[in-house]
Amino acid sequence: MSVTYIDAIREAQETLLRDDPRVFLYGQDIATFGGAFKATKGLSEMFPNRVFDCPISEDAMIGMAVGAAIEGMRPIIEMQFADFSSIAFNQIVNQAATHYYRTGMPIPITVRLPSGGTPGSGPFHSQSMEGIYSQYPGLIVLTPASVSDAYHMLIDAVKLDDPVIFCEHKFLYRWLKAKSINGDHLPIGQARIIRSGKHATVVAYSAMVHEAVRAAERLQQDGWEIEVVDLRSVKPLDIDTVLASVARTGRLLAVGEAFPWGGVTAEVISRVTEEGFHLLDAPPQRLNARDTPVPYHPKLWAAHRPTPESICQALRKLLAF
Amino acid sequence: MDLHPITDGVTKSREFLRSAFHSMLYARIMENKLSSLYKAGKIVGGVYLGRGQEAVSATLGTALVQGKDIFAPLIRDQAGRTAFGEPPIDCIRTYLGSIEGPMRGRDGNIHRGRPADGMPAMISHLGAQVSLVAGMLFARRLLGTLGDSVGATCIGDGAASTGAFHEGLNLAAVEKLPMVLIIANNQFAYSTPNNRQFACADLVERARGYGINGFSLDGTDLMACTSVINEAIRLAREGQGPQLVVARLLRLSGHGEHDDGFYVPTDVRNGHYGRDCIELAMRQLVENGIASLDEIRAWQDQISDDVQRAVAQAQQEAAPDPYHDDWTALSTRFPLPNNQPAALPVLS
């Protein structure tokens, strides 16, 4: 018996609907159809009048969620693809994210973003938006990389009083399996060292955690011990765990699947450089997707995002410095 | 619509008209003061007046019941805010940046509200409040607390061109929510005239496309506003879904007090919609024996005193202190406590 990442997300929503009458789900094709990725399969039958199909109106979906939150509800909004949240950008960053600061009333909404690339998905069904949302004050941005985190972090996200951008990785949906959803249930905002090492630190999140672990396994054959930090939450960013790791290894590579200009990896490098320059034995490195739209063809796509090969290459350069 | 409130008894017309007119007068006097303060350099940022829109706005605010209904005011809704029950000092404090105001100096001018009291605080992005009001109503339906409450918001002719307006109104129509959406067509979005904003003859034509009721009215006429807006609210309360009301009027000021509105042609200024809704309402009230000139003069004096006192008070209140602000946009305080005793790291 195994649980996939998408099972965990569905399970978390079932738990939330069962345990908290304030929770409801609103999104496109999520009721009878069960969602484009089946993250809500069967939930509309189990919870009548709690799971709603909505018009293709991402802006209105978030405006609606903010209004419902003002009245005491805890809506979970499914964006069919993270990419389409660009249409809701205004409501997310200007309405939801500013509300607590302006009025003192927090807005407990959770926006689920099926994120990241899969082969053949192309420019408009593959994007990673975590960096963009993290740039705005007033949002919590989560990027679970494991089955257990997908479950526990979604439950914790809905319990938080602030708006959460929940970036689920589509590649992990069915590829990632675990024996159960049990895990250490670290609180939101804490990074996790998932592989210990002493020669270099790779900081990654979401699907890139798994690519980084593969790279670390390959380098192990050459005697290199690579530490891998899973950020879990990109905002807030647990820079203490990262600095502690860099203190042990002296070398840092930050890996992300988003576009290369700015973003999470740049933030990690910038903070480590600022707060832990004395810990570094080599210039910190970044590895991101390429600076083009995400390509359709699987061969182009595989070379667009960081891979175990490109991570190994970046690590060898870092280790050779 | 040719209902007439004085003759048809749609509303408790006498008291309603007196109350709505009082709010119109309140808004005009308070906004005149704001304009003076702005010109004297006492207000930082912009000042945006509802001059010319008071009849529409006050009617809406008077018809809604605070504590029961939802009112999401927009830029030119001072009269509606006052009528709905917003304490006038909220306005003064927000313009002057007092720490005591609802926005505590973190936001200014018309970007204020009391969401817990059914009056959300607008953002500048036009049309965004339409879906927000829909969400408040939707939540009440889920919670079983909707009853016969309604939600209302006003937007302008320019905001009607936004995607957010369309998405929000369509969603409200699909969900059959008791929403009243008023478009105050004041003929200019900042400086852009109607013929550069939309191509239909009247924005009310759009109602049919959304599958909802639509009403047109002369927004300079308090009597017309009273009968039509009350009727729209009645239908929404009855469960007949969203109601679109398009009020035609003219903005009797610039977009903000920094703008003299030079682009409004003289014939438009001097035309039918250039008439002042307050002057017209005053004549209607006096001629129909609903209020006397002496009463209205007494109201004016009382409001002027109120406004002076509110300004004096807010001017003495502290400004926000950047050294003591918590400078956080989140209510959650990180780091969060551990969920359970530390366990060995596991990657599933």
Pairing of strands A110-115, A226-230: unpaired
Say whether residue B144 is in contact with chain A using an 8 A CB cutoff: no
Sign of CA dihedral A162, A257, A37, A46: negative
CA dihedral B271, B277, B282, B284 (to 10 degrees): 70
Closest alpha carbon within chain B to A91: B128
Closest alpha carbon within chain B to A22: B143
| CB-CB neighbors (< 8 A) of B168 in chain A | 57, 59-60, 63-64
> Would you call B134 and A101 a contact, using CB atoms and an 8 Å cutoff?
no
How far apart CA A190 and CA A244 sit, in angstroms, is 13
Which amino acid type is present at position B289? G
Percent of the residues in chain B that have a pLDDT greater than 70, as a whole number? 94
Q: Do B19 and B12 contact (CB within 8 A), yes or no? A: no
Q: Do B184 and B54 contact (CB within 8 A), yes or no? A: no
| Minimal CA separation from A297 to chain B, in Å | 30
Closest alpha carbon within chain B to A153: B339
Domain boundary residue, one of A147, A178, A209? A178
How far apart CA A50 and CA A27 sit, in angstroms, is 11
Query: Are residue A161 and residue A208 in the same domain, yes or no?
Result: no
- Please list, residue by residue across B188-215, b when 16 or more beta carbons sit within 10 angstroms of its beta carbon and e when fewer do: bbeeeebeebbeeeebbebbeebebbbb
> Would you call B106 and A102 a contact, using CB atoms and an 8 Å cutoff?
yes
Closest by CA to B56, choosing from B173, B140, B153, is B153
* pLDDT per residue as tens digits for the range A213-243: 999 999 999 999 999 999 999 999 999 999 9
Q: Is the ipTM of this complex over 0.90?
A: yes
| Minimal CA separation from B250 to chain A, in Å | 29
> Would you call B135 and A66 a contact, using CB atoms and an 8 Å cutoff?
yes
Domain presence at residue A183:
no
Say whether residue A68 is in contact with chain B using an 8 A CB cutoff: yes
Q: DSSP secondary-structure letter at B331?
A: S
**How does residue B340 score in pLDDT terms, banded at 50, 70 and 90?**
low
Domain boundary residue, one of A152, A178, A204? A178
Name the B residues in 311-330 with CB < 8 Å from any A CB. Answer: 328-330
Say whether residue A72 is in contact with chain B using an 8 A CB cutoff: yes
**Residues contacting residue B27 through CB under 8 Å, at least 6 positions apart:** B50, B54, B57, B58, B78, B79, B81, B82
Q: Do B218 and B176 contact (CB within 8 A), yes or no? A: no
Active-site residue set of A: 125
Say whether residue B134 is in contact with chain A using an 8 A CB cutoff: yes
Closest by CA to A193, choosing from A240, A155, A157, is A240
Domain presence at residue A185:
no
Q: DSSP secondary-structure letter at B159?
A: G
Query: Are residue A85 and residue A196 in the same domain, yes or no?
Result: no
| Minimal CA separation from B165 to chain A, in Å | 9
Query: Are residue A305 and residue A215 in the same domain, yes or no?
Result: yes
Q: What is the mean pLDDT of chain B?
A: 94
In the three-class reduction of DSSP (H, G, I as helix; E, B as strand; rest coil), residue A78 is classed as strand
Q: A182 to each of A167, B112, B299, how far by Cα in Å?
A: 20, 45, 69
For residue B185, the number of C-alpha atoms closer than 13 Å in the C-beta half-sphere is 22
Name the A residues in 256-275 with CB < 8 Å from any B CB. Answer: none
- Tokens representing A189 are 């905002």
Domain presence at residue A113:
yes
pLDDT at residue B11 greater than cutoff 60? no
Query: Are residue A163 and residue A201 in the same domain, yes or no?
Result: no
Domain presence at residue A184:
no
pLDDT (tens place) for every residue of chain A, 321 residues total: 799 999 999 999 999 999 999 999 999 999 999 999 999 999 999 999 999 999 999 999 999 999 999 999 999 999 999 999 999 999 999 999 999 999 999 999 999 999 999 999 999 999 999 999 999 999 999 999 999 999 999 999 999 999 999 999 999 999 999 999 999 999 999 999 999 999 999 999 999 999 999 999 999 999 999 999 999 999 999 999 999 999 999 999 999 999 999 999 999 999 999 999 999 999 999 999 999 999 999 999 999 999 999 999 999 999 999
For residue B36, the number of C-alpha atoms closer than 13 Å in the C-beta half-sphere is 9
**Residues contacting residue A146 through CB under 8 Å, at least 6 positions apart:** A5, A176, A178, A183, A209, A230, B346, B347, B348
CA dihedral A40, A43, A44, A46 (to 10 degrees): 180
pTM: 0.96
User: Domain range holding A57?
Assistant: 3-178
Indicate the residue of B163, B168, B348 with minimum beta-carbon distance to A148: B348
Query: Are residue A201 and residue A174 in the same domain, yes or no?
Result: no
> Would you call A65 and B135 a contact, using CB atoms and an 8 Å cutoff?
yes
Q: DSSP secondary-structure letter at A96?
A: I
- Tokens representing B135 are 């969400």
Angle at B177 between CA A104 and CA A80, to 5 degrees: 75
Q: Indicate the length of chain B as a whole number.
A: 348
For residue A184, the number of C-alpha atoms closer than 13 Å in the C-beta half-sphere is 19
Query: Are residue A213 and residue A129 in the same domain, yes or no?
Result: no
Query: Are residue A50 and residue A157 in the same domain, yes or no?
Result: yes
Q: What helix, strand, coil percent values describe chain A, rounded to 5? A: 45, 15, 40
Percent of the residues in chain A that have a pLDDT greater than 90, as a whole number? 100
> Would you call A187 and B331 a contact, using CB atoms and an 8 Å cutoff?
no
CATH number at residue A51: 3.40.50.970
| CB-CB neighbors (< 8 A) of B336 in chain A | 187-190
Does residue A236 have a cis bond before it (omega within 30 degrees)?
Answer: yes
What are the domain boundaries of chain B?
5-316
| CB-CB neighbors (< 8 A) of B124 in chain A | 94
Which of B332, B333, B339, B344 to mutate to test binding with chain A, by most A CBs within 10 Å of its CB? B332
| CB-CB neighbors (< 8 A) of B131 in chain A | 57, 59-64, 67, 91
How far apart CA B19 and CA B58 sit, in angstroms, is 9
Sheet strands side by side (includes A110-115): A51-53, A23-27, A74-78, A110-115, A164-169, A140-142, A233-235
> Would you call A140 and B332 a contact, using CB atoms and an 8 Å cutoff?
yes
How far apart CA A53 and CA A34 sit, in angstroms, is 10
Alpha helices in chain A (DSSP H): 5-19, 43-46, 58-70, 89-90, 97-103, 130-134, 147-159, 170-175, 207-220, 239-249, 263-276, 298-304, 308-320
A vs B, Cβ pairs < 8 A, gives 190
Indicate the residue of A71, A146, A161 with minimum beta-carbon distance to B348: A146
Which amino acid type is present at position B280? L
Our count of domains for chain A comes to 2
Query: For position A1, what pLDDT does the model report?
Result: 77
Name the B residues in 64-103 with CB < 8 Å from any A CB. Answer: 102-103
| CB-CB neighbors (< 8 A) of B328 in chain A | 101
Sheet strands side by side (includes B179-185): B70-72, B151-156, B179-185, B243-248, B213-218
| CB-CB neighbors (< 8 A) of A146 in chain B | 346-348
Query: Are residue A152 and residue A9 in the same domain, yes or no?
Result: yes
Query: Are residue A130 and residue A60 in the same domain, yes or no?
Result: yes
Closest alpha carbon within chain B to A213: B347
Which amino acid type is present at position A320? A
Domain B5-316: top CATH class: alpha beta
**How does residue B9 score in pLDDT terms, banded at 50, 70 and 90?**
low
Say whether residue A102 is in contact with chain B using an 8 A CB cutoff: yes
Query: Are residue A169 and residue A314 in the same domain, yes or no?
Result: no
| Minimal CA separation from B298 to chain A, in Å | 36
> Would you call A140 and B329 a contact, using CB atoms and an 8 Å cutoff?
no
Say whether residue A62 is in contact with chain B using an 8 A CB cutoff: yes
pLDDT at residue B343 greater than cutoff 50? no
Query: Are residue A298 and residue A171 in the same domain, yes or no?
Result: no
Closest alpha carbon within chain B to A73: B139
